[in-house]
Amino acid sequence: MVRLAKSKRGISPLIATVLLIAFSVALGTMIMNWSHDVLNPPGDDYSCDAINVGIRLSEGMPIICILRDISTIKVVLENQGEMPFDFIDYSVIDTNTPDLFDGRITEGIEVGRLTNEEISYTLQDDSSLQISFVPGFKTSEGERICTEKKIVYDNIPQCVT
């Protein structure tokens, strides 16, 4: 027993230094990864490149129509992108006059999901309407509207009842 106590030796200073450096690098990596997640929430990783809104097709025709007697446009929108979006801004425009009606669909749409919308508008002449949809999302700095992803639809057919 006495001989074991005398033959006990510590680790060499070189190995101790290597272990301390490895521990410091591992701890620093963990802190940097954690701080990135805290400072950049998931919503801030969004990009307009990954967002795309479209009008759903049925038998090759877009599902959109107008009910002129009650000034309503019915449309089925689809998230065709790679990321969900939080809202869709729309504009109903009378192409014969400078009349414009804006609004927002505040219900977000997950990837691959659909939303059935009835958009009411107040325009004097609705004989030649055009509607545009622009998706957007919220970030920690505010809202990001993806104007480059705007879709425009005109020649809206009358709904068949």
Domain boundaries, the chain: 11-40, 44-154
Whether residue 135 contacts residue 108, with contact meaning beta carbons closer than 8 Å, is answered with: no
Secondary structure letter of residue 157 according to DSSP: P
Secondary structure letter of residue 140 according to DSSP: T
Q: Indicate yes or no: pTM above 0.75.
A: no
- Average pLDDT (142-154) is 89
Instruction: Select the more confidently predicted residue: 33 or 78.
Output: 78
Identify the pLDDT of residue 45.
57
Domain 44-154: assigned CATH number? 2.60.40
Q: Is the pLDDT of residue 102 over 80?
A: yes
Identify the pLDDT of residue 36.
65
Burial of 136 (0-12, 13-18, 19+ CB in 10 A): buried
Q: Is the pLDDT of residue 41 over 60?
A: no
Longest pairwise C-alpha distance within the chain: 105
